[in-house]
Amino acid sequence: MNDVRRQESHRCQTRRVTATDSALALEQLYADFAANDLIPLWTVRGDLMPTAPRPSAAAHVWRWSDVYPLAVRAGALVPVGRGGERRAISFANPALGGHPYATPTLWAAVQYLGPNEVAPAHRHSQSAFRFVLDGQGVWTIVDGDPVAMRRGDLLLTPGWRWHEHHNTADAAMVWLDGLDIPLVSALDAGFFEFGPEEVSDRSTPVTSRSERLWGHPGLRPLGEAEPDRASPLMAYRWEHTDAALDAQLAVAASGHPSRLARGHAAIRYTNPSSGGDALATIRMEMHRLAPGATTAATQSVGSSVWQVFAGEGTITMADRSVDVGHGDVVSIPSWCPLTISARSALDLFMFSDAPVYEALGLAAPRGGST
């Protein structure tokens, strides 16, 4: 019995000793990893490679009733100056650790330009658009082409084009800016250059040169050079968008089959020279829901930002439903289930990073293959 006890004790002791040695060896190994800038996969695998996307970004709603007054106050207190460049206030996803990003790839901001103010010329690799919730009177000059900004319009500034804005009106103007700043930053691909202080062209044509050349349905101007990947059309006017959405609903109502849910119409803003997305890294769309209509439920790889242009409805993000109205902005992270329903007629502007995933073969849920 003593022997047995001793043996057991010995065994226990051995175990303890071995455990201690092994633990020490492991501890030393991990210390040596750290000292050599190495990290073992097995300690981090689950976080690195979840079974489905676990975005840190949150589904989040910003209320226009909160945002707009703050933009007005900024207009009174903060000049538009060289360096800061723009009086733009970014929607900062609260789950992204203090970064001024709406989602991990998309920047969204409200830009405020007071009466007769000027935002001076610069250019950058980042692609940008402006969507006008209300108002008019600002011209954005893109590579020398003055483009009027009016309610409901989508205006483009593809990467590396000079652009500046000036307000010709006695009233301030506010709009939504969207850019691929977070994506370009994550990829370390950004270049930036300051332009002249003075506005290059103070003319205020109703129609930009890009529209006069490229804004006719299905017609390509032969005098123009082959466009690069971004759209050569700098303005998509509300009158066309509105008419297209109305027509879609009417055509579907007359019995023509649609891939969208009943009472749901949508257009994508495209590059007329390729039929693809108007910007290489940002998809832009306008959605219209008839009163009472509900979209089909979606769950996409990639993130999006929505702004209510007109009407009232409910956005359901996973388990949470939020009532939204004019100007409210919503961020939808990757793989978040989404449904939208309309209480009144509801128009929503949407932009997303979908072209990035499609270009990289990452758009299909799960596989790298589509």
Note whether 64 and 328 are within 8 A (CB). Answer: yes
Q: Which residues in 192-211 contact a copy of itself (CB under 8 A)?
A: 192-193, 209, 211
Q: Per rule CB under 8 A, is residue 25 in the interface with a copy of itself?
A: yes
**Entry field: residues in the chain:** 370
Residue range at the interface with a copy of itself (CB under 8 A); choices 6-14, 245-253, 316-324, 341-349: 245-253
Residue with smaller CB distance to a copy of itself, 8 or 239:
239
Does 335 sit near a copy of itself (CB under 8 A)? yes
Residue type for position 315: I
Strands lying side by side in the sheet with 329-332: 60-62, 329-332, 304-310, 346-352, 283-289
Q: Does 190 bind a copy of itself (CB under 8 A)?
A: yes
Between 202 and 212, name the residue whose CB sits nearer to a copy of itself. 212
DSSP letters spanning 126-162 = S-EEEE-SS-EEEEEEETTEEEEEETT-EEEE-TT--
Determine which residue in the list 18, 22, 116, 298 makes contact with a copy of itself, applying CB under 8 A: 22
**Contact residue for a copy of itself among 11, 16, 45, 320 (CB under 8 A):** 45
Q: Is 159 in the site for a copy of itself (CB under 8 A)?
A: yes
Cα–Cα dist 120/82, whole Å: 7
Least distance CB 324 / a copy of itself (angstroms): 16
Q: Which of these, 253, 252, 210, lies nearest to 231 by C-alpha position?
A: 210
Residues 6+ apart with CB under 8 A from 15: none
Does position 1 bind a copy of itself by CB under 8 A?
no
Binding region for a copy of itself (CB under 8 A) out of 9-17, 272-280, 313-321, 338-346: 272-280
Residue 8 interacts with a copy of itself (CB under 8 A)?
Answer: no
Q: What CA–CA distance (Å, rounded) separates 263 from 240?
A: 19
Q: Within a 10 A sphere around the Cβ of 64, how many other Cβ atoms?
A: 20
- Kindly tell me which of 267 and 346 has the beta carbon lying closer to a copy of itself: 267
Q: Residue-wise over 147-178: b if at least 16 C-beta within 10 A, else e? A: bbbbebbbbbbbbbbbbbbbbeeeebbbbbbb
The stretch among 8-16, 219-227, 316-324, 340-348 that binds a copy of itself (CB under 8 A) is 219-227
C-beta of 4 vs 255, nearer to a copy of itself: 255
- State yes or no: residue 315 binds a copy of itself (CB under 8 A): no
- Whose CA is closest to 356, among 188, 235, 233, 187? 187
Taking CB atoms within 8 Å and a gap of at least 24, the contacts of 1-6 are: none
Among positions 87-106, residues that touch a copy of itself (CB under 8 A) are 87-94, 98, 100, 104-105
Stretch of residues binding a copy of itself (CB under 8 A), selected from 25-33, 132-140, 320-328, 341-349 = 25-33
* Near a copy of itself in 109-128, by CB under 8 A: 109, 124-127
Q: Which is nearer to a copy of itself, 166 or 264 (CB)?
A: 264
Shortest Cβ 321–a copy of itself spacing (Å): 20
